[in-house]
Amino acid sequence: MYTHNAVDTFDMGSADSSLSSLNEIPMEMDLTSAGPPISDDETEVETKEKKLFVYAKRILPHVGLVILLFLYLIAGAFLFRYLEAPKELETRNHELTTILGLRDEFQDHIWNITQDSDNRISREAFNAINQEYFEQLVKNMFQAYRNQFITAKHLLNKTREDEVLWTFPNSMFFAATVITTIGYGNLVPITVTGRVACIIFALLGIPLLLVTIADIGKFLSEFLSYLYRSYRGFKRKLRRQSKKITSQYRSQSQSRSSSVMGSSKAGSMNLHDIDSDSEDSAGDELRIPVFMVLLVLLAYTAIGGFLFQSWEHLEYFEAFYFCFITMATVGFGDIVPNEQVYVFFTMAYIIFGLSLATMCIDLAGTEYIRKIHYLGTKMEDAKGAVMTGLQAGEHLLKHTGIEVIKTAGGKLVQVRGAVLSSKEARELGMSYLLQFNYQHKNVLYEPLTGNLAKVVKEANIKILPDDITEKDGYIVQNKSYDRPVLGERGFVRLNGNAIKRIMIPLRNQAICVPYLIQKESDV
């Protein structure tokens, strides 16, 4: 029965491996001919029409996003104008009636006093009455001023009857300042319906704007990275030259030792070069200096200062101050744009500026935040290593069937609750037999592929013995101790596995590593 199971498992593994190997050959051709990665992922198309179609298909989501944002702003402008303009007219008429009523009353009062020649009122009493009317007038005018619906023009009868504060440009500007979270506060909704609409408008609009400016910022980021990468092309060429020399030396030594593996060596070198180039590109992008980022932001704010100096007739520093407060999305509202003609240019400046700020944060800020957040994690002991290792282990388990993580303290911690059954192991490509009753048979030890290594690196976990210290957790895999073929006989045999894992068997017919047994007993 044991031999029968072994044979069946081996055959199934061979078949799967053969099928996957056949299926993946065209992909290999594509990968080997890729060369160094380019910033644009275009592929050749036969005809010009197809090329145009491909370009249109690629650009459409981004243009659609910007158009969607614009339509959202227009809809918001109409909504707020529809909700707030009637209330504004009503409130303004009420306040005007109050103030004009006070004026008429005052006029009647003065006339009555003037006409009453028999009963002369004293000067002090007259002044007291006048002062009372004066304070009433000031109070009502100040209340009207606070509500922002009445200006001096209305009191002087110099405006048309139906002119409102919530004009279409002002409404659109208000909508833009809501979803950009600037919020000057010069124009605010008063009605309950307007406020509820403002809440819903902000809840839906803010993510939309953030996605749009992040999308625009990412294009700017790629453009800047492309420029920066071109600037550093010379260094990369030097690095590649030195790499070629090293590769040739290794090729010669390898061919001298064994010539049958020449083809696999070539493939390995090519993939290694691709990996190295990709890492270089990523490193270049991430290492754009912070000074450059700050310079870009400062230049944009200074240019904005000049623009608003000419548009809004402000002093230069006031314009710069306004641009800075706007770009930081603070928006005090002590200086606000008043010219209706330039409202749309102001909105374009704000949205583009926020995209630029997003680009700069994307290039420089994210890396620093990540470093600050994970800086303390390296100082943790075994408990912390278990936590980070568990995260990496859960990723690794889905791809290689690894179940156990050995911590810095020497304990084997199970990533999942259940041990893989033979069926699950076969599905994952791990087709070992369960001769021994060890609970943790799939402990990975060897170095991982490039992308797995990145995940392990992100989780601050190390996989090579010379990198491991007592403060780190690591993943161990020792494939030899559960191989039945080795256990069946009591002597070292000549096959590839024995060369990688040279072990002298014990006399009790069981091949195992003693320290591993000791550590496993602690679990």
Partner 1 sequence: MARKAGGLAAIMSGQPVVVVKKRSVFWRLRHLTRQGGLHVGLILLCILYVHFGALFFMYSESPEEQRILRRVEKRYDILRETFLENVNRVKLEDFSDERRVNESISRLIDDYSKHMFKLFTNPVAANMFDCLFYSQSNYTPLWTTDSSLLFTATTIIPVGYGYIAPLTSTGRIVLCIYAAFGIPLALVMMSDVGKFFADAFVKFFHENITAFMVVLLILLVAYSVIGGIAYSKIVGVPMIEGVYFSTITIFTIGFGDITPGIPVYVIIIFIVFGVAIVTIAIDVVAANIIHHIHYMGRQVGRAKIIADKMLSMAQKISINRGLGLGMAQLGAFARMGMMINVSAMGPQDGHANGGVGEGGIEMSRKSTWRSENDEIKTRKSTAFEPDLDFDMIDFRQPSGSSQYLYGFGFDNNAFGLADGQSDEDSVFM
In the region spanning residues 129 to 188, those forming contacts with partner 1, defined by CB under 8 A, are 130-131, 134, 137-139, 141-143, 145-146, 151-152, 155-156, 177-178, 181-185, 188
Distance, in Å, from the CA atom of 351 to the CA atom of 312, rounded to the nearest integer, reads 19
Binds partner 1 (CB under 8 A): choice among 66, 328, 348, 510: 328
In whole angstroms, how far apart are CA 369 and each of 157, 174, 199, 221, 460?
58, 33, 31, 18, 16
Question: Which is closer to partner 1, CB of 343 or CB of 412?
Answer: 412
* Contact (CB, 8 A) for 193 and 83: yes
Instruction: Tell me how crowded residue 347 is: count the other CB atoms within 10 A of its CB.
Output: 20
Looking at residue 339, what DSSP letter applies? -
Residue 507 within binding range of partner 1, rule CB under 8 A: no
Cα 162 off chain centre by: 47
Site mask for partner 1 (CB under 8 A), range 28-47, x = bound: x-xx--x--x---xxx----
Stretch that binds partner 1, among 83-91, 163-171, 233-241, 485-493 (CB under 8 A): 485-493
Q: Which of residues 1-30 bind partner 1 (CB under 8 A)?
A: 7, 10-11, 13-14, 16-17, 20-21, 23-25, 27-28, 30
Closest residue by Cα to residue 156 from 102, 86, 100: 100
Residue 380 within binding range of partner 1, rule CB under 8 A: yes
For residue 450 the two structure tokens come to: 């490039």
In whole angstroms, how far apart are CA 337 and each of 153, 222, 308?
19, 33, 8
Q: Which of residues 54-83 bind partner 1 (CB under 8 A)?
A: 54, 57-62, 65
- Min separation Cβ 277 and partner 1, Å: 9
For residue 111 the two structure tokens come to: 């006339």
The owner of tokens 């590839």 is 496
Burial class (CB in 10 A: 0-12, 13-18, 19+), 82: middle
SS3 letters for 112-171?
HHHHCCCCCCCHHHHHHHHHHHHHHHHHHHHHHHHCCCCCHHHHCCCCCCCCCCCCHHHH
- Min separation Cβ 75 and partner 1, Å: 18
Give the binding-site size for partner 1 (rule: CB under 8 A): 187
Q: Which of residues 244-303 bind partner 1 (CB under 8 A)?
A: 250, 254, 257-258, 260-261, 263-265, 267-268, 271-272, 274-275, 278, 281-282, 285-286
Stretch that binds partner 1, among 79-87, 234-242, 342-350, 500-508 (CB under 8 A): 500-508
Binds partner 1 (CB under 8 A): choice among 91, 247, 276, 329: 329
- Min separation Cβ 452 and partner 1, Å: 7
For residue 402 the two structure tokens come to: 């690894």
Binds partner 1 (CB under 8 A): choice among 98, 247, 276, 431: 431
- Min separation Cβ 13 and partner 1, Å: 3
